[in-house]
């Protein structure tokens, strides 16, 4: 509170934020917030620019498919490319091994061909998809300028070794942690006050753009995978885990980091699940879709290419009271050319057409 003395008038212009040079990997958002890329261009766009610095992103896993890992891997890879510090916590014995599976960015040549081809593809799409067609075109025109902010990743190629070297990466296995407090300590040392991720002063200075001392040099990333799995000793201590999430959220708020936390919702009782959801700033769920669901495949176009559905339940609202109203909350997850993850609005066939006869009869 003391730090805010300089600003007493509601109408003082915030000059410093306008003149702050662009920091690679970060982007200015509305209401004095900063964005950091999720590593998936479509997701950034859906969320209005990316993950807000200082926010907690929670992903509800599908118990049957590891789609949440796609989000985690892109998120982590993107951070490493921007040389942002990373903390990865997982129930596996050797979380470091997971770093070997992180995707590599597509080379610029591949990148361009991807754009061109999708544009060609789109030209073939039929009339009721027009709205979407225009939306994506805008995106493509923007992408040249912001290519550095969010890379395209090739999920088949592992991240090149040299990117991993010399980075500040911290890995934690839940199995080493006897209780959640240990995990919390690791997170708080990662975000510690003398660390470059902290703004020093509580929130205000960071958010008001007074970055002369301390200053944002880069954003940090925390990735916590499957927090409440039975592998960890603390999985049955519901209140302790809630306290952990709440404490993590409060230290995040005064830092320049984003934490992404995935969890299997089926392992929580509905009572605690709601509490977890309330704690999330941004809440996303991923679901797999059955391979041969004839009903669905009739209803949705491009069903064959889909690997799952992603549902955006909540978008972080920091420094504002206005809720984010998305055009759609459910998106289909597709693997483009089996290597890069894209999210698309669902294209639902017209209801009348789903009976299957009207089209055929009119065509013949």
For other proteins, the binding residues (CB under 8 A) are 1, 4-5, 7-10, 31-32, 202-204, 207-208, 238-240, 242-243, 246-247, 250-251, 253-254, 269-271, 274-275, 277-278, 283, 313-314, 317-323, 325, 329
Judged by beta carbon, residue 165 or residue 325, the one nearer other proteins is 325
CB of residue 324 to other proteins, shortest distance in Å: 9
CB of residue 342 to other proteins, shortest distance in Å: 25
C-alpha–C-alpha distance, residues 298 and 75, integer Å: 33
CB of residue 180 to other proteins, shortest distance in Å: 12
Judged by beta carbon, residue 130 or residue 239, the one nearer other proteins is 239
CB of residue 325 to other proteins, shortest distance in Å: 5
Judged by beta carbon, residue 170 or residue 208, the one nearer other proteins is 208
Beta bridge partners of 284: 59, 312
Judged by beta carbon, residue 83 or residue 329, the one nearer other proteins is 329
CB of residue 322 to other proteins, shortest distance in Å: 5
Burial of 177-212, coded b for 16+ CB within 10 Å and e otherwise, reads beebeebbebbeebbeeebebbbebebbbbbbbbbe
Of 253, 260, 278, 259, the closest CA to residue 268 belongs to 278
- Which DSSP string corresponds to 263-317? E-GGGS-HHHHHHHHHH-SEEEEEEE--TT-HHHHHHBTTGGGEEEEEEEEE---
Judged by beta carbon, residue 320 or residue 358, the one nearer other proteins is 320
Between helix 238-253 and helix 270-279 the angle, nearest 10°, is 10
CB of residue 253 to other proteins, shortest distance in Å: 5
Judged by beta carbon, residue 203 or residue 353, the one nearer other proteins is 203
- Which DSSP string corresponds to 202-266? -SHHHHHT--SSS-----EEEEE--TT-TTSTTTT-HHHHHHHHHHHHHHHHTBSEEEEEEE-GG
Tokens, residue 107: 């080379």
CB of residue 281 to other proteins, shortest distance in Å: 10
Burial of 27-36, coded b for 16+ CB within 10 Å and e otherwise, reads bebeebbbbb
Contact 210, 4 (CB under 8 A): no
Phi-psi region of 258 (alpha: psi -120 to 50; beta: other; left: phi over 0): beta
Contact 84, 220 (CB under 8 A): yes
Judged by beta carbon, residue 98 or residue 276, the one nearer other proteins is 276
Judged by beta carbon, residue 36 or residue 251, the one nearer other proteins is 251
CB of residue 313 to other proteins, shortest distance in Å: 7
C-alpha–C-alpha distance, residues 6 and 180, integer Å: 40
């Amino acid at each position: 509170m003391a730090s805010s003395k300089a600003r007493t008038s509601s109408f003082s212009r915030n000059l410093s934020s306008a003149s702050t040079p662009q920091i690679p990997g970060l982007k200015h958002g509305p209401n004095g917030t900063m964005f950091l890329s999720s590593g998936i261009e479509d997701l950034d766009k859906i969320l209005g620019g990316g993950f807000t610095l200082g926010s907690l992103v929670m992903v509800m896993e599908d118990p049957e498919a590891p789609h949440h890992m796609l989000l985690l891997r892109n998120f982590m890879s993107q951070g490493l490319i921007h040389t942002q510090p990373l903390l990865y916590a997982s129930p596996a014995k050797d979380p470091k091994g997971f770093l070997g599976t992180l995707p590599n960015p597509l080379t610029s040549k591949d990148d361009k061909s991807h754009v061109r081809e999708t544009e060609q593809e789109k030209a073939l799409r039929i009339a009721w998809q027009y709205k979407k067609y225009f939306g994506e075109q805008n995106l493509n025109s923007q992408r040249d300028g912001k290519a550095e902010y969010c890379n395209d990743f090739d999920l088949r190629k592992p991240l090149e070794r040299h990117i991993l070297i010399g980075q500040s990466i911290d890995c934690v296995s839940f199995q080493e942690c006897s209780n959640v407090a240990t995990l919390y300590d690791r997170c708080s040392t990662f975000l510690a006050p003398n660390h470059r991720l902290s703004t020093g002063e509580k929130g205000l200075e960071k958010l008001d753009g007074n970055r002369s001392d301390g200053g944002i040099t880069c954003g940090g990333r925390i990735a916590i995978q499957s927090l409440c799995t039975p592998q960890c000793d603390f999985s049955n201590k519901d209140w302790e885990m809630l306290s952990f999430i709440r404490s993590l959220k409060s230290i995040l708020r005064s830092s320049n980091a984003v934490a992404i936390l995935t969890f299997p919702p089926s392992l929580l009782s509905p009572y605690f699940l709601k509490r977890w959801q309330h704690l999330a700033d941004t809440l996303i769920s991923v679901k797999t879709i059955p391979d041969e669901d004839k009903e669905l495949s009739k209803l949705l176009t491009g069903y064959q290419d889909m690997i799952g559905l992603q549902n955006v339940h909540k978008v972080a609202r920091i420094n504002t009271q206005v809720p984010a109203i998305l055009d759609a909350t459910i998106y289909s997850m597709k693997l483009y050319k089996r290597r890069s993850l894209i999210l698309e609005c669902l294209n639902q066939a017209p209801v009348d057409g789903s009976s299957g006869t009207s089209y055929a009869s009119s065509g013949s």
